[in-house]
Structure 1
Amino acid sequence: MHDAILNTPKAEKSYEQKTSWVYLLNLGFYFIPLFFMQGQWVNITIALALLIPFIGGYFWAYNSTTENAIYPISLMLACAIIGSPFTSGTISLFSFVCFFIGFFYPLKTTVMSFICICILLFALNGVVDTVGYYFAFYGMGISIGVGAFGVIEQNRQRIKRQQKRSQDEIASLATALERERIARDLHDIMGHNLSSIALKAELASKLLIANQTDQAQIQLNQLSDIARESLSQIRQTVSNYKHKGLSACLPALSQSLRDKGMEVIIEGETPVLAELAESQLALILTELFHNCLKHSTAERVQLTFSDESTENIITFTQNTRVNNVIEGNGLKGIRERIGLLNGSINYQCSPEFSLTICLPKQPN
């Protein structure tokens, strides 16, 4: 069964309830025959009195669900049937009934109900003071036409609910992806720093035990520097994950390797990228440089930027071979970041380790 107005968003439902009286203007067709019933005060009084329960049934139906819509629709239909011997304007009431049937019920049920109402209109035609079958045929046309609008409105509401569900699913997926990105960022930014903090704290403790206070002080100073740098990076990450950019991070990364005695060569111009692409590439290079700093025995590291017609190519090379590459969290995180940018990555282990990143250019 299809849901009804109650399943629409609250703001939209409130708006529809406030404007529901507007459609009652169609009752103007109900009053037209009354103007020509001069002197028939009994018929006019009964016709006007029937509007009270009918309007009550209308607002009841407007706020109903499919499960209980049968009750207000039955009330409206009863008012239309009872009023037919007194005025032909009940054609208007039948049209309201058909609208709500078309709105609340499946198409098969709606079609069967429309057929029954058409038969009912022919049956009532004999008790209505009209020429020929005016009441039956004209009533059929108006009722089925307005009922078709009910079917259309039901489909419109169903499509809107589907779109709302799709939007909710997209929002949920985006939230999940954002959580994964946060996890990658925390690993890439803090994983190495926390390892360094633990190692230096352990080394400082051993040096203190050995009464080598000067060396211990050096380790503690370095530990303090790492902690401050970690805090700075965390603040950048929390602040919408805005990285300081390639131009700012490359000198610091290069200097960290030079301090270890490695030669660092950077060729080409850093590409002009969108903010997301630049921040992700900066984090990827941070991962590569830190891995080289911790695990590599290379003497030279080269970073090359190439500007091709349709893509930017970034190549990271160190002059040592790698016997075995285990795709742990670091390399997995790099692949996920590249995937986020619709790029590609490949690497070779010998005669020297080289990793190439291809990022498609965004259209202007």
Structure 2
Amino acid sequence: MRDFLNSKILFPKQLGFAPYFWLLWFLPAIVYVLQFSNYLKWTLLFTLLVFLKIYRDSFFLINKKFDYNVLAQLVLCIIFGSIAKYPFLFIYTGYIIGEHYFNNKNIRFLLVTYYVFSLSCIIYIIYVAKLNNLNELLSFIFGFVFILGCVPASYSKMKQAQLLQKNKRLELLIRHNERDRIAQQLHDNLGQSFSILALKAELSSKLLDKNNLELAKQQLDDIAEISRNDLNLVRKIVTDLKSDTIIQTLNKQYQYLEDAKIMLFTQNEDLTTSWDRTVQNILSQVITESVTNCIKYSNASHIRISFSAKNNSYLVTISDNGIGFDNYLKQDHESFGISGIKRNIANLDGSVEFKSDNGANIFISIPIPKKEDNNHD
């Protein structure tokens, strides 16, 4: 039952409660329809129901299917608007067009069709209804201005959300660059350890001058041991701090997705700055592979990546609105980097699940290393 609701009835989970809130504006339309005779009333209510279903489905469609969906919405809008003299369903279609403004090849055709249909509907209503009342006329004019503005408003909202996310990512990158600078200083100035090495070297020299070979050898052995430990420590610090973080990876992949006209949305990416570096390195590889697959094979218009920490586990979800895994998993189960993703996550004792539900979905769970458990309780 839950799968049926998610695939056929409910809006995408990542959109939250917003789509359901906007459905409240269907109530005036329903109330308006109830004044008509029984036959016309039920016909208009059925039209509203069909429109709602098509509108909901548009959030999951891409390319030509999306275009056909929008055209179907516009046809229902002009039919309902002309009969019920209620043109405001166009606002819903305008919103969805605005969301796909910069990642749809036929956006100009959809925009022209949208404005022609909506303007024709308004003119028809004013002409047929013969609105002599100034208040009614002004309300329709105001409504048409709102219909005109909902497309650019939706587009502006999407661009602003992406810009805010990008600025936040750049801020985190600046912090990471500072950590790189500190790491380089540690590499160049392991002061305390080097001081010990200098003292032991001087002591060894004095012991050799006194022919105390046994003690001199002991000091030299200590120097060799400390040097090896320091070298390993430096290598570990440099490796950890110079490997790509999740923030860096998202910033790189954003550029590739933007070139492919695929929108990237993230949630809680700032949480990852405190995650274990080994985990970040592996997840960076997974994100890179997933984005590559999305660009090459998915035909998606957007990809969403969310991060959280719960029940002593790091949780990552990667999803797009493309064709899903089914079509190419049947061809080769080891293709498209999926086997590599499974192997990398398994190396961290984690689990990964691949699903095709209105697109490709990857669910990752990785145990938080014990040394960090206390920080996440």
TM-score, normalising length: structure 2: 0.44
- Compare CA radii of gyration and give the structure with the larger one: 1
Structure with the bigger percentage of helix: 2
